[in-house]
A and B are shown apart, each in its own frame.
Chain A
């Protein structure tokens, strides 16, 4: 039965299943935390109780491996259970104090000092102290397998001074604050120091500081109950959070459409008809986070020719591509590499206007002609006997990408570029991209709390590698000393003005040289239902990056309460 069914039906692999983690911190970068308290609402007229049902397709039944550090399917509990030192607020550009009540840079931005919050307890009643923070970071140093953020690639030492934790950096790396303070989850020393092997530690009942406590976990359900000892007094308002496991978007979306879940984080085709159904309590909005790019290999023909890259960027009708792939839910990306409108305060409008990369196939053809290409058989351009043909690497399992690349292929053919799409398995594609064995590839970029993070990921030659070796970023093999020094200077400053000036120059490089071609802006999928619970982030009240990002989802949970 099974193998025949396996070959008979086409395998459905979740389409963009995971919300992008990219916390989108726009605005002022890392300067100043301010005195804003984490919780400033009055609880006077808020009704307590209610259940949140979170519909976040994980593509697997739960294994209850909730260890925050070993790549387990832990995304469903991060933030709700384990918390970070600060919260990098995705949309208003501010950093909220969290387990640290304050922080400061010193020693030419090479030393970072955190003041650890008092009055926080672990959910087993033991007090949380600076020793736990130091323990967590040293745990990551001892076990490189746990250091998924690469904290110790930049850290030199972490030590405790009374109620403070002092971190010394090997080199000035201000943007790594996001990973060290905003993405590193603090674990309790009194539990973890007794674990023999923290790498294989399952951790099905986390002892954590967060607002929820895991009360039950099996393959089908994770149930979390309100933590009555949570350090933000009076919060959370809701009583229970339930997260059913889904193998695929289809059943996950159906569960949402039936109104059984009130918080969803999936791509839903035709969301207004399928999910909203005219119900005024059902809403969705998708905030853009980081781009999906076409990576042109800068060291092989023909993508090493600037005119070809420019022509590709001009030949793609991004809006149409998005319509065909995902009902237009992903906004068209900007060649400057700035995700809009999320980072519009960083966007150099006049520069973008000057280069003007809006859809223009005739301009693309002209560019290729002036670069010495001549139309050959079938209208395909060629130069010195070499045909302008290339292969685009996609992923067979992502049906949205398959449709998008098919459209891109047609659009490139229309300007005389003979593109063929090769849809591979996810890991084969990644492996080819990392080792540079490709011409053009469709792949994610990395996000972070400012446009710097994506720029760093796609442009920093420190991340790239020779063809045949594994690159961890800059897959297109863009090597440019001016770019590197700009990125380097950004990493050394906490001044917002300097950061903006640098990002402007990087936009110039993106527009002038087209090292990569942003196509669509990845979004955080997010649906919510106000039948019982209110307090959700909305289009007009974006108090947090919506969706199911970690740890951002905790902030949403803390705002929810009964109508």
Chain B
């Protein structure tokens, strides 16, 4: 069974904590060869899923923090080929579900078929490609994703209509990425009253898929609050800022994850 699917199936909020934590980081940042060190430290710190960003020159859905990490990773020489090479022994190291997040053009240039085959080979479980249209996915790519056991994660936002949410739920597997507010990544923080109404609306829809809430989640409090409305939450920009400032990568990563998941057990970095 796909690691993402089994993670959500086996998760019990009453015994396993506030929610599942998915942490995003940009491959090849801060330094080209940091990718697997960060991945390992995230698992050791207690991250439940990891989302590895494939850097892109024009990441329109991302805010300044993640764009800067993308630019830096590209300057470091990061590419899809190098990423697969870095991840080739990944499943000897970590068991946590791994998603690749990125924009569709680098994937198209690698070749969809070759890309999916490589994902399966290194043990990637799912993809988040925000600028891939649903109809193109269903018509052209879904059969390839399926053949390689890859889940495609769709996004919903506060502006997504109820009919479209139903449609997304229908074609989704694993989880639905719930964007907390009308924004790019990292631009707002916290969970407002408007957001709560939107989360409650989603709750009341009784969707088949669990949800993870992303955008604006930055610490223990926002993680717990978001998790009360979903299966868990996603942290991206706040973690990139930790990486930017870190002087001891492994320990800083582990400390950050522990602090987000359970502030009382925080270990000072």
The answer to whether A binds B is no
Residues on B facing A (Cβ under 8 Å): none
